[in-house]
Amino acid sequence: MCSSHFKLKQSLCSAKKKNQKREFFSLFCFIRLKTPLVQSKEMAGIVVVFDFDKTIIDLDSDNWVVDELGATDLFNQLLPTMPWNSVMDRMMKELHEQGKTIKDIEEVLKRAPIIPRVVSAIKAAHALGCDLKIVSDANLFYIETILNHLGIYDCFTEINTNPGYVDEEGKLRIRPYHDFHTSSHGCSCNVCPPNMCKGLIIERIQASLAKEGKKRMIYLGDGAGDFCPSLKLKEQDFVMPRKDFPIWKLINENLDLIRAEIHGWSDGEEQEHILLQIIKAITVEENPFLSVDCKFQTIPINAVHETLPKALPVPY
């Protein structure tokens, strides 16, 4: 179990005044890092990266909060006038003025529908020593609230997302991961939103993993924004797109651009099965004499590859 201590890395020096510091750090790219987990040597080379909305929870977290707090009409009015990230910050201001509290928002988040079996899948991957990370276009307040409620916050070593924090007035503020008001993140992929390029985040993670000697990555996602990081994965990696969601369509239309092995999933049971079988397959490949014990069930070595779902074919 990792410590609750963490460091906040930011691209702006700390402001002199405490209230200024809260306002400034949220305007710049940041990641939430926690003390690295003690991992088994067998699994230390496996990194699993999850999207959040529609990959861990079974809906869009922004829409869920807006709808549950009765602000859908206002949201729909504002959406054509400004970027999504800016709309959500404005919505939090409007909800605060209507008397909605942080407690109200937390209670809505705690009852958000979860992908069935995703919690057990995350706990199993964590127990096997995989390094779990989140890359999401939601926000930190939403993600931390839900992960803590589900009891899986400590399974993750890193959360990459839009800053979300409670200001001195008790109002939730949501800021962009990349401050698109001052500059572009520079990604040429036309599916990335202005506030976040997940591909650039994956490249940063890959550079860090190279220094640590880690080699294999498994990426799970559903949205169009998950296509760019899929392009960054290498031949030894795996991408798990959610079937019949935007990323599935984009990958199928651009199979020649994907180097990673592709394994689609439709529901939580399939997601859990495929993820754990990939982890086992990697472990056996790199440790041919190792007996894999997953979720207290010993899997015969010769059965691992037989149970791994067939990959989506990639044309050459």
Q: Enumerate the active-site residues.
A: 51, 53
CA proximity to 58, closest of 127, 145, 2, 118: 118
Q: Which two tokens stand for residue 124?
A: 């199993």
Contact 226, 219 (CB under 8 A): yes
Q: Name residues whose C-beta falls within 8 Å of residue 310's C-beta, 6 or more positions apart in sequence.
A: none
